[in-house]
Amino acid sequence: MDTFPTLANGDLIGLTVTLVLISLAAFFTSSLTAAMGVGGGVILLALLAQIVPSAVVIPLHGAAQLVSNTSRVFVQRQHINWAYILPFFVGGVVGAAVLVPWVRDVPDGVGELLLGIFILIATWRAQWLGLSQWHPSASGGVTTGLSLILGATGPLVMSVLPRDTWTRQMVVGTHGMAMVLQHGIKVVAFSSMDFDWSAWWPMLIGITLGTIAGNQFGAKLLGQWEEAQFKKALDVLLTILAIRLAWQGLEKLIT
């Protein structure tokens, strides 16, 4: 079974550049999600795939999103629908346990190709991901299992919530709590696969600081942007990143 790559400690300049890029990516995407409600997790996933080896993209993304969602869900904690969250969590544990043995056996390039396709679907055909009729435990199992492979399943989790019958605050709070649990399970799952978090500690610190600062900055921007124009720009950016990601994965599979 393959091992996870670690940082090349000898290249100080390369490490510094990588740290700065990851910190800025965490700041930007956390600001985006705090200000717009969606989009940051998917963009962070695509950006990380351009910066670090593909095998560590999803573990680092999971750690970043765990920090980001924890800080945001604290604000909406009184609106969380625990009757939905508890079975979602149980299903998530089962889904992760089922897929953990096969995560590292996914061929190099397949994950990037699937990620690119997933981002394109989440951006332009989000209704295809609709699972709102599923039981919370089934939704938790499917989305958490997929998160080990796809990474950014925030749009997918949002699509399974019964948003039509909930208040906006309940949707935001419950979605945030679901993502905290899902990314927490992901961190535990990759730890069980001997992912060496200590080998990436500079990046984890940069992600944490960038995420916290981004949440603060994004909260101040909330409601100040022209939403329609911004969402168009966001869709274009997501599409460019997704196409590049999918192409990189396809090149690895055909060469």
| Residue 225 domain boundaries | 12-254
pLDDT at 1: 43
Whether 130 maps to a domain, the answer reads yes
| Amino acid in the structure at residue 19 | L
pTM: 0.72
Whether 6 maps to a domain, the answer reads no
Whether 4 maps to a domain, the answer reads no
Whether 7 maps to a domain, the answer reads no
Domain count, the chain: 1
Tens of pLDDT, residue by residue over 204-252, are 889 889 988 888 887 777 666 665 776 677 788 778 878 887 888 898 8
Whether 153 maps to a domain, the answer reads yes
Whether 3 maps to a domain, the answer reads no
Q: Compute mean pLDDT per 10 residues along the chain, 255 residues long, and list them.
A: 56 78 89 73 83 84 86 82 96 90 77 79 76 83 82 75 79 87 89 86 88 82 66 78 84 85
Q: Transcribe 34-70 into DSSP letters.
A: HHHSSSHHHHHHHHHHHHS-HHHHHHHHHHHHHHHHH
pLDDT at 140: 92
